[in-house]
Every structure is written in structure tokens, then in C-alpha cells.
Amino acid sequence: MAIGEPKFETGKDIEERILGKVTESYEKIFDESRIGKEPLFTKYTWIEITRRFQPFKDPSNPVNPEKTNERFFPADVLKKIREMLGIKDPRQLRYYTSAAPYRARGLDKMGSDAFVEIDLGGGTSIFAFLDITTNPEFDKPQGNVIILWPKKENRLEQRKEEMLQWPTLVSETANDIVEEFQLRAQEKGLVIRPLTEYEIEESQKISIARHEQVLAGVRETLSKKTRKK
């Protein structure tokens, strides 16, 4: 443990260390003191907003933004999911953190600390929303994959326990996400299959255009909100 480092970690500390957190600019733009507490956007819009404020350069290959040489839980989970689904092109599967400061609005306030997206082609995706907790009695929000994380009394014991349980945590989380994908695909009559490089590129063009359109609406809404103040 580094000198000056607190002995204990809060649930929020673990959430941000394991899943990553949105960038500082997100906090400044979407702080409750700036935009208020009333609902401004739908969950789908918050998904598009969250994409824009990631600490990772590549959502299909997320790395720990603070310690790039360390193993990163979301990256290991994505790798396991690709193996399970036979996905060859890593771009088909993407990870986004939505962990944010307490005062920031967004998916975190709605019970989702992160989400994984699988591209099904033609600009269509389905999502699995993740929530990490150290509380075994945590109530499961509808539609979320719960990651029950080990919790020890000090940081040294915490790291030891995490490394011991790491393979199981990765495997269980990946299994739960795949089950969520299959459930959502079945509900919508969609098929999960590996996409070709061309299919992924064409699908991403559609997704990017839609993303920019949604963000244009977000900017307009925020502009009106601040003008009223």
C-alpha cells in the first residue's frame, strides 16, 4: 500500500477502480447543480451521452486508464464473451463505464455502473447493464447483471482476495452477460452471430450517425436549460 493511501476502500472506490469511471468533463456538464434533478433524457439518450465521455480510447479493448500495464476486469470479461460467442472481430463487442461522481446525473443514478454492447449488424445493438456491489443482499434492479465483488477489511487483503477469485468473477460475469444478450435478442427476434469486418464497419457508420444526431439534441436541451437560468 502506497504511503498516504487510505487503508479502506468504499464501494464507490471499488466501483471506479474495477470498472473505470467517466471523464471529468462529464461531471462538469451533468452535475445536478447545473442541470437540476428532474429527468432530462431517456435511458437510451444517456447511453449515447455516456459513450462520449469514456476514459478508454477503444471501447472494444478497454485498458485501465491509470495503470495501463495492469490487468483490467472489463477487458478480461470481453475476452471471455468473445470466446463463448465465437466472435472474431473484437469491434463487435464494446464496453463502456457509466460510473460517475455522486452529484452527476446519468446511468449511474439509474442503477447501471457500466454496460456491454454487442453489435448485431445494420446499426442494431443490444445491451447488458452492469452493477457492481460488495453487498450479497443487494436488490437486483430489473435488467441488470449484478457483479458481487469480494470485500475485505484493508487494501492488501482486498487485492489478494480479488486475485484469488478473479477467474471465477470473470467467468460468472461473462456468463451472466451472454445470458442477458440471449434474452434480449429472443425478446426482439434478433440473432446473435459473429459479424464480418464489412458488416461491422457498415453497422458502425449507422451507429455513429445516430450517435451524433442524439448528441445534437442533447446539446440543444442543455443550452435551453442553461439559458433559463
Q: In whole angstroms, give the CA distance from residue 153 to residue 86.
A: 39
User: What is the per-residue pLDDT for 153?
Assistant: 80
Does 219 have pLDDT greater than 50? yes
* pLDDT average, residue stretch 78-91: 98
* pLDDT average, residue stretch 202-213: 97
User: What is the per-residue pLDDT for 8?
Assistant: 72
User: What is the per-residue pLDDT for 5?
Assistant: 53
User: What is the per-residue pLDDT for 3?
Assistant: 47
| In the chain, domain spans | 11-228
In angstroms, the first-to-last Cα distance of the chain is 46
pLDDT digits (tens, 9 = 90+) for 33-71: 888 887 789 999 999 999 999 999 999 999 877 776 678
Does 115 have pLDDT greater than 80? yes
Biggest alpha carbon–alpha carbon distance for the chain: 55
Name the nearest CA neighbour of 108 among 94, 95, 123, 98: 98
3-class SS of residue 144? strand
Does 84 have pLDDT greater than 90? yes
Q: In whole angstroms, give the CA distance from residue 142 to residue 57.
A: 30
Instruction: Kindly state the helix (H) or strand (E) to which residue 56 belongs, with its residue range.
Output: none
pLDDT digits (tens, 9 = 90+) for 7-26: 678 888 899 999 999 999 99
Higher pLDDT, 161 or 68: 161
Count Cβ atoms below 10 Å from residue 134 Cβ, excluding itself: 17
Give the pTM: 0.92
Does 175 have pLDDT greater than 90? yes
Triad 26, 70, 5: Cα angle to 5°: 70
